[in-house]
Amino acid sequence: MPHQPEGNTRPRLWEQHCCLPLLPTADLGELGRYPLGSYLSVNVGFTPQSTRDVLELMDVFRRDALADGRFRLVKSIADAWPEPGTEAADEELIALAFDLEDSDPLEGDLDNVEVFHDLGLRSLLPTYNRANAAGCGCLDTEDTGLTGYGRDLIRKLNETGVFADGSHCSARTGLDIAEITTVPMIYSHSNFRALWEHPRNITDDQARACAATGGVIGLNGVGIFLGHNGIDENPQRVEAIADHIVYGAELVGIEHIGIGSDYSFDADDFNDMLAANPGNYSEEYTRYGQLQWTPPEDLLGLDAVLARRGFSETEREAVFGGNFARVARQVWRD
């Protein structure tokens, strides 16, 4: 467990998705803003990145993590979520793994799933907002779901031991993932459309289908997906995350809810890219002004909010990490 002030028993955090700048100059030390003992899945690429780009970035991130001394590279669930009393738990390090927000960096070669897996990839999205060779994205007006290649991709992820992730995908693509997968799927960083109408949020049908696989929905702290994007609305964003947790617990059960805050340490770069390339997204991204995120320090305050709302310690531990750890034990292969 991470060191906490006396009397504070916040549960360990499994952060299923956060973002550093996708550059070799990124400061990996910024991840130290998360508590020791956390598990972090860090994005290493999406649509613009090639296979070579991702491999080079993973090499840099892995090297910097080892040089820093506060991180443990994840090879197995025992590295990611060590049992109390084990040597790994006593080390109190931040467990670090990687995810891809799009399948484009595979460049059509499914064998690259294994290559990336060997370097710590444990989660992958078929599509990022727009249609590609694998399927449709959440911003597409026509939704035809997964392609034949996309279906083969899901099978390859299952075989290799990588989470099949429906975030950023279209509704039909997400439902297709749930239909094809033979192990639990996830939504790493998606909120509920029933609470805030946005194409990046998922429908109740998507949530139910994910839960039916045994999977987990990681809720995010992005202002435009919560309905609170004001620069001074951090407290409201935390309360809104709690609203989505309450809704999800009632819809599919607390055992299917987790956290993937989508916090962007590259927020300025992302906002600059959004302003320069509005056509790559949609008005649903651009009309709110500068995007705001929920930083790690505020995210940890969610525990007290959930306690105030009546969630037990066991339920909070499940949301903060136990649920994702459970499905990782079912999906991952060492």
Does residue 4 lie within any of the structural domains?
no
Amino acid 4: pLDDT: 38
Does residue 2 lie within any of the structural domains?
no
Amino acid 266: pLDDT: 86
Q: Where are the alpha helices (DSSP H) in the chain?
A: 51-68, 77-80, 87-91, 111-118, 148-160, 171-180, 204-212, 223-226, 234-252, 267-276, 283-286, 296-299, 302-308, 313-317, 323-331
Residue 232: give the domain boundaries.
14-331
Does residue 3 lie within any of the structural domains?
no
Amino acid 334: pLDDT: 79
How do residues 124-174 score in pLDDT, each as one tens digit? 999 999 999 999 999 999 999 999 999 999 999 999 999 999 999 999 999
Amino acid 119: pLDDT: 98
Task: Please give the DSSP secondary-structure letter assigned to residue 60.
Answer: H
Task: Output the average pLDDT for the chain.
Answer: 95
CATH code at 116? 3.20.20.140
Sign of CA pseudo-dihedral 15, 16, 20, 25? positive
How do residues 185-213 score in pLDDT, each as one tens digit? 999 999 999 999 999 999 999 999 999 99
How do residues 21-45 score in pLDDT, each as one tens digit? 999 999 999 999 999 999 999 999 9
Other beta carbons less than 10 A from residue 144's beta carbon: 13
Q: Does pLDDT of 302 surpass 90?
A: yes
The pTM assigned to this predicted structure is 0.95
Does residue 20 lie within any of the structural domains?
yes
Q: Residue 53 — very low, low, confident or very high, per pLDDT cuts 50/70/90? A: very high
Does residue 8 lie within any of the structural domains?
no
Q: DSSP per residue over 138-178, as a string?
A: TT-SS-----HHHHHHHHHHHHHT-EEB-TTB-HHHHHHHH
Does residue 5 lie within any of the structural domains?
no
**In the chain, % of residues over pLDDT 70:** 98
Does residue 7 lie within any of the structural domains?
no
Does residue 101 lie within any of the structural domains?
yes
Cα 226–Cα 168–Cα 160 angle in degrees, nearest 5: 130
Which residues are paired to 173 by β-bridges? none
CA 230: distance to chain centroid? 23
Higher pLDDT, 90 or 94: 94
Amino acid 2: pLDDT: 34
**Quick one: tokens of 319?**
């949301």
Q: How many domains does the chain have?
A: 1
